[in-house]
Chain A
Amino acid sequence: MEKRRINNNIRKLRFFHNEMTQQQLAEKVGVTRQTIIAMEQGKYSPSLELAFRIALAFGVPLDEVFSYDPDTKSG
């Protein structure tokens, strides 16, 4: 399976926010836990709105959560 161009640090950020669980983050941003899992595994790229909600939940700018890798092929 090809890797996605959009990478994220959600797993790391959860760890540095008192080991926030996937369920807690899911509830904060209004999605299911399965969506958080899919994002962490790089299988799903969120919408811009959800990306902002996740950044807001961690209290960091968007580019600290998500990064764009133009050299990676889109999956």
Chain B
Amino acid sequence: MSFQEKNITVSLVNFTLILGFYLIRVFQMVQDGSFNSTNIFRLWGITIVLAIIVTILATILTHIGSAIIHAIKTGEEKPDIEDIEDERDQLIDLRGTKITYVVSSIGVFLSMLTFAFGQPPLVMFSLLIFSGLVAQIIGDISRLVLYRRGF
């Protein structure tokens, strides 16, 4: 598994956990009757901040972890891990980003549709962040599939 693949796998796990956290919180709110705009916007903030912090930390930790594992395997003092990004990596990333945008655009459209059909704005906002997280997860999965397939 290349460094890029490890990074994508870590991102996939992170966003799946964040999506899980988000869904659990939303269902808890619906169950105990606290599903209101104040709580949903707070959850929005927490989810976005969590996504940013976790992504940065995970990238750093993946880099350090890869270097340590490589050093143990090869016994090199200054491990030279393969973290360069070449044209194939860039093409795969581009395709993954395209898939992420398509999925999130569909999500945004569906969210607007719920609003247009008379659902409260809370539903729209809940669906917006849900579709964003799902889009990121699908984008990561497609990147991993492309890496496994070659391109």
Residues of A within 8 A of B (CB): 30-35, 37-38, 41, 43-44, 46-47, 50
Is the C-beta of B78 less than 8 angstroms from some C-beta in chain A? no
Chain A CB within 10 A, most for which of B87, B89, B150: B150
Chain B CB within 10 A, most for which of A35, A47, A50: A35
Query: Contacts A32-B89, A34-B2; is A43 near B151 (CB within 8 Å)?
Result: yes
Is the C-beta of B88 less than 8 angstroms from some C-beta in chain A? yes
A44 contact set on B, CB distance < 8 A:
88, 150-151
B87 touches A31 (CB 8 A): yes
List 15 extra interface pairs beyond A34-B147, A38-B151, CB under 8 A: A30-B84, A30-B86, A31-B84, A31-B87, A32-B82, A32-B84, A33-B82, A34-B88, A35-B88, A37-B150, A38-B88, A38-B150, A43-B150, A43-B151, A46-B87
Chain B CB within 10 A, most for which of A32, A38, A46, A47: A32
Interface residues of B in 126-151 (CB under 8 A from A): 147, 149-151
Interface residues of B in 45-98 (CB under 8 A from A): 82, 84, 86-89
A38 contact set on B, CB distance < 8 A:
88, 150-151
Provide a sorted-by-A list of 20 A–B residue pairs whose CB atoms are within 8 angstroms.
A31-B84, A31-B87, A31-B88, A32-B4, A32-B82, A32-B84, A32-B86, A32-B88, A34-B2, A34-B147, A35-B86, A35-B87, A35-B88, A35-B89, A38-B88, A38-B151, A43-B150, A44-B88, A44-B150, A50-B87
In the bound complex, CA of A32 to CA of B136 (Å): 25
A32 touches B87 (CB 8 A): no
A35 contact set on B, CB distance < 8 A:
86-89
